[in-house]
A and B are shown apart, each in its own frame.
Chain A
Amino acid sequence: MTAHLSRRSLLGLAGAGAGAYLLSACSGDDKSSDPNAPQTINWWHIQNTEPMLPVWAAMANEYKTAHSNVTFTIQPLENEAFKAKLTTATQAGDPPDLFQSWGGGVLKQQVDAGLVKDLTDDVKDLVGGILPAAMGPYTIDGKIYGIPFDIGMVGFWYNKDLFTRAGITEPPTTWTALLDAVRKLKTAGITPVAIAGKDKWPAHFYWSYLAMRIGGVGALQKAVDDKNFDTPDLVAAGERLKELVDLQPFQKGFLGAEYGSPDGQAATMGNGGAAMELMGQWAPAVQASSSTSKKGIGDKLGFFPFPAVDGGKGTATEVFGGGNGFAVGKDAPAATIDFLKFLLSVDNQRRSAKTGAVLPTVKDATDAISDPNNKVVAETLAKNTGFQLYLDQAYAPALGQQINDSVAEIIAGKKAPAAILKDITQVAKTA
């Protein structure tokens, strides 16, 4: 009845609100383009634990010493806390100057909203030295909006002792062999797999990898382009995952477990409580820091790539992964990009690599990888024949989160794979 009128008045009110907000946003920040003017770089990163936390701090201090006009406000944040905090900041149109980014769909949304700086011209000299696979997620429509300092992949991290105790002589290379290994471990009274059900993203690795192995590396990109996930290959990936879930391979209380909490996925592995986990290159570092001994399981830890699936179109050399990088906020002071380049210098990449928590993206720094596990990951990564970025980063957030939620339903054994792919397709069509 009065819908038209009220809508208009609502519009007016919202417009007034937005106007007031824009006014307030205009004041405040020093937007000087002079790199020598006094400026403060507001930096949010997610390396909030040893070993990288002090390394970043030290690098910032060195930069500050060399450039007396620059000061830093550094906010190290836990992964989930960072995402929540950044969301609020970006929705308010006020991103930090330098901040963690995984590239992909989330970065694209920030680019579309005009929140991040186009770095294409500023980083020309830097990009040549960076691994091309790492740059992919940060390159949107041919322009560069972020720089990766770390690139890695997801694979199985396993406890060699527990595998031996269960009579498994070598790491499984096919899905069938993996299921066999799980059965053997269960028979030996060992928890086969640690997983963080509360966090959801660790579970989405399983379905994504299975989808790549069954449908080939392009299957996931094609699904999002076609807005159709309800394909035989992707449903099969869900059914294969259900085979694993049906063996009840996970640790006690896995649906409530977080990744990094004192009783979570990483701690379970680090304390020797489970035989394997499917996780990214940071796994050894987090296992160590969240274990009770603070050392993890040391050299008992091994790595094998996600196995192939019989009859699948994909191969075990195609990798699922991604990296960590930094994007630059739209109002960042001039020195920010220079500081980013400083962080990505060969020397500083070497220093980061030496901690074992970062796999460098600068080619000349890869020789500094000392940790044997990291070396395996770097070699596997170097030989990759195809690359897929984490889905919750590659896709738009609504779709990425839906995949996490839906895969969680398979892991909980509550919904049939065919049904969840219909749910995902529904979101892909509307999001």
Chain B
Amino acid sequence: MTRPSTVSYTGRGDTATDPPAPGPGTARQRGRQPRPGRGGVLAVFLTPALALFVLLVITPIVVAAYASLYKWNGFGLPENFVGLDNYTRAFGDPTFRGDLWRGLVLVLLSLTVQLPVALALAMLLNQPLRGRAVYRLIFFAPYVLSEVTTAVLFTLVFSPNRGLGESISTFLGAEAGAVFADPSTVLYAVFLVVSWKYFGLYMMLFLAARQGIPKELSEAAVTDGATAWQAFRHVTLPLLGPTIRISIFLSVIGTIQLFDMVWVLTGGGPIHSSETMAVTMYQFGFRRFEVGYASAISMVMFLLSLVFALFYQRVVLRRDTAGAITNQGGQR
């Protein structure tokens, strides 16, 4: 990382030194030496949550993992054991390999377009601006809509013959009406709709983080002769780091699991051009009754998310989460 250490450490100096030693250590000690009566309390408070977690999270995962080893149409109990055939089939299937590729494209687009735009807007709306609250409200509004509502809305907007998008683009001398019907544009069209819905959320996150940064820091930088860009690049941006990193995390995980929007907008078509892993999984599980194969796809999705989440949390988010915990518990 190239950020100038002086500035970033003023912001997190106390947090960076505190967390590693006492935090986890104390927790472990407490765990080992329960006070009398504490076990009962723990059991009472933990059991309901743990039971629900096992029933609703662990069990389905285990059942899916189990089903993914069978050729099974979902009726009765699985009997036809096929080993890892479902997995080899998935990775040999052009549609599923396409899903992985399209997922990657969507992730890259989110990181290079959606988040920067949200960040730029957040910075803009942090400036003293007439009607600032109204803009904030407008930009955040799409996030409040449900995915299905958003998708239906945009199918109407981009309806080829009478949609608003078609009228506007015809007026501008272009043709936008068929963006969802053209295999070469549909993925980008879907991405635009997803971004339209979610950029407001990231904008709000960035805005909140920005407002948490004391004014004095940028003022000091400007007094020391930094330009507005330098102040942003070397003061604001590093201090927004934790929020940016968690936004990337949310965005990637959200993209891996993308379903509702695609399903309602395009159903994955035309000819699989906008299909995601979740859509393929649904097609096989609920249309073709190949529950075993669909389970294998869902396991791949799960493992991808899990590996990414673990890796990201360990490597990228480690200091952020440690800082956040100690800040709240200890310092403030």
Do A and B pair up? The answer is yes
Assuming the A-B contacts A255-B183, A414-B271, are A13 and B161 also in contact, with contact meaning beta carbons closer than 8 angstroms in the complex?
no
Contact call B288/A397, Cβ cutoff below 8 A? yes
Complex: A309 Cα to B171 Cα, angstroms: 44
Hey, which chain B residues are within 8 Å of A112, CB to CB?
75
Pick from A84-92, A211-219, A316-324 the stretch touching chain B: A84-92
Q: Which of A268, A397, A431 contacts B287 (CB 8 A)?
A: A397
Render B37-65 as a binary contact track against A, CB cut-off 8 A, 1 for contact: 00000000000000000000001001101
Render B74-106 as a binary contact track against A, CB cut-off 8 A, 1 for contact: 111110000000000000000000000000000
Q: Enumerate A233-257 residues with CB–CB distance to B below 8 Å.
A: 251-257
- Cβ-based interface call for B181 (8 A): yes
The 8 closest A-B pairs by CB, nearest first: A253-B160, A256-B181, A113-B75, A255-B270, A253-B178, A253-B181, A263-B159, A398-B288
Contact call A10/B62, Cβ cutoff below 8 A? yes
Q: Enumerate A99-152 residues with CB–CB distance to B below 8 Å.
A: 109, 112-113, 115
Contact call B163/A263, Cβ cutoff below 8 A? yes
Contact call B289/A198, Cβ cutoff below 8 A? no
Complex: A255 Cα to B75 Cα, angstroms: 33
Render B288-304 as a binary contact track against A, CB cut-off 8 A, 1 for contact: 11110000000000000
Contact call A90/B75, Cβ cutoff below 8 A? yes
Assuming the A-B contacts A88-B286, A256-B266, are A11 and B74 also in contact, with contact meaning beta carbons closer than 8 angstroms in the complex?
no
Complex: A285 Cα to B122 Cα, angstroms: 51
16 further A-B contacts with Cβ under 8 Å, apart from A87-B287, A253-B180, are A10-B65, A88-B286, A91-B74, A91-B75, A253-B178, A256-B270, A257-B181, A262-B156, A396-B289, A398-B288, A398-B289, A408-B269, A408-B270, A412-B271, A414-B183, A431-B290
26 residue pairs A–B, Cβ–Cβ below 8 Å: A14-B67, A17-B63, A87-B286, A87-B287, A91-B74, A115-B75, A197-B269, A252-B160, A255-B178, A255-B182, A255-B270, A256-B178, A261-B155, A262-B156, A262-B159, A262-B162, A263-B159, A263-B160, A396-B289, A397-B287, A401-B283, A408-B270, A409-B271, A412-B183, A412-B270, A431-B290
Q: Enumerate A271-291 residues with CB–CB distance to B below 8 Å.
A: 273
Q: Which of B77, B177, B286 contacts A253 (CB 8 A)?
A: B177
Contact call B162/A197, Cβ cutoff below 8 A? no
Hey, which chain B residues are within 8 Å of A13, CB to CB?
59, 62-63, 66
Question: Within the complex, what minimum Cβ distance (angstroms) separates A252 from chain B?
Answer: 5
Hey, which chain A residues are within 8 Å of B74, CB to CB?
91
- Cβ-based interface call for A25 (8 A): no
Question: A residues engaging B (CB < 8 A)?
Answer: 7, 10-11, 13-14, 17-18, 83-84, 87-88, 90-91, 109, 112-113, 115, 197-198, 200, 251-257, 261-263, 268, 273, 396-398, 401-402, 408-409, 412, 414, 431
Question: Within the complex, what minimum Cβ distance (angstroms) separates A391 from chain B?
Answer: 14
Hey, which chain A residues are within 8 Å of B186, CB to CB?
256
Complex: A142 Cα to B255 Cα, angstroms: 50
Nearest to A84 among chain B residues (CB) is: B286
Hey, which chain A residues are within 8 Å of B76, CB to CB?
113
- Cβ-based interface call for B267 (8 A): yes
Question: Within the complex, what minimum Cβ distance (angstroms) separates A23 from chain B?
Answer: 14
Hey, which chain B residues are within 8 Å of A197, CB to CB?
181, 269-270
Assuming the A-B contacts A254-B181, A261-B155, A262-B159, are A198 and B288 also in contact, with contact meaning beta carbons closer than 8 angstroms in the complex?
no
Complex: A252 Cα to B162 Cα, angstroms: 11
Hey, which chain B residues are within 8 Å of A11, CB to CB?
66
- Cβ-based interface call for B126 (8 A): no
Question: Within the complex, what minimum Cβ distance (angstroms) separates A322 from chain B?
Answer: 18
Hey, which chain B residues are within 8 Å of A14, CB to CB?
62-63, 66-67, 77-78
Nearest to A90 among chain B residues (CB) is: B75
Hey, which chain B residues are within 8 Å of A414, CB to CB?
183, 271
Hey, which chain A residues are within 8 Å of B65, CB to CB?
10
Contact call A263/B291, Cβ cutoff below 8 A? no
Contact call B66/A408, Cβ cutoff below 8 A? no
Complex: A140 Cα to B162 Cα, angstroms: 46
Q: Enumerate B269-284 residues with CB–CB distance to A below 8 Å.
A: 269-271, 283
Complex: A409 Cα to B94 Cα, angstroms: 14
Question: Within the complex, what minimum Cβ distance (angstroms) separates A282 from chain B?
Answer: 21
Complex: A84 Cα to B162 Cα, angstroms: 29
Hey, which chain A residues are within 8 Å of B286, CB to CB?
84, 87-88
- Cβ-based interface call for B251 (8 A): no
Question: Within the complex, what minimum Cβ distance (angstroms) separates B276 from chain A?
Answer: 16
Hey, which chain A residues are within 8 Å of B62, CB to CB?
10, 13-14, 17
Hey, which chain B residues are within 8 Å of A409, CB to CB?
271
Question: Within the complex, what minimum Cβ distance (angstroms) separates B86 from chain A?
Answer: 11
Assuming the A-B contacts A13-B62, A84-B286, are A257 and B160 also in contact, with contact meaning beta carbons closer than 8 angstroms in the complex?
yes
Q: Which of B66, B162, B163, B270 contacts A198 (CB 8 A)?
A: B270
Complex: A228 Cα to B50 Cα, angstroms: 52
Question: Within the complex, what minimum Cβ distance (angstroms) separates A428 from chain B?
Answer: 13
Render B175-209 as a binary contact track against A, CB cut-off 8 A, 1 for contact: 00110111100100000000000000000000000
Complex: A345 Cα to B112 Cα, angstroms: 64
Question: Within the complex, what minimum Cβ distance (angstroms) separates B44 from chain A?
Answer: 23
- Cβ-based interface call for B73 (8 A): yes
Hey, which chain B residues are within 8 Å of A253, CB to CB?
159-161, 177-178, 180-181
Hey, which chain A residues are within 8 Å of B75, CB to CB?
90-91, 109, 112-113, 115
Question: Within the complex, what minimum Cβ distance (angstroms) separates B292 from chain A?
Answer: 11
Counting chain A CB atoms within 10 Å of each CB, the highest count among B59, B63, B161, B182 belongs to B161
Contact call A263/B267, Cβ cutoff below 8 A? no
Hey, which chain A residues are within 8 Å of B69, CB to CB?
7, 10
Contact call B183/A252, Cβ cutoff below 8 A? no
Complex: A408 Cα to B287 Cα, angstroms: 16
Complex: A32 Cα to B116 Cα, angstroms: 63
Hey, which chain B residues are within 8 Å of A83, CB to CB?
287
Contact call B63/A91, Cβ cutoff below 8 A? no
Nearest to B85 among chain A residues (CB) is: A430
Complex: A183 Cα to B179 Cα, angstroms: 26
Hey, which chain A residues are within 8 Å of B161, CB to CB?
251-253, 263, 268, 273
Question: Within the complex, what minimum Cβ distance (angstroms) separates B188 from chain A?
Answer: 14
Complex: A18 Cα to B160 Cα, angstroms: 48
Complex: A17 Cα to B62 Cα, angstroms: 10
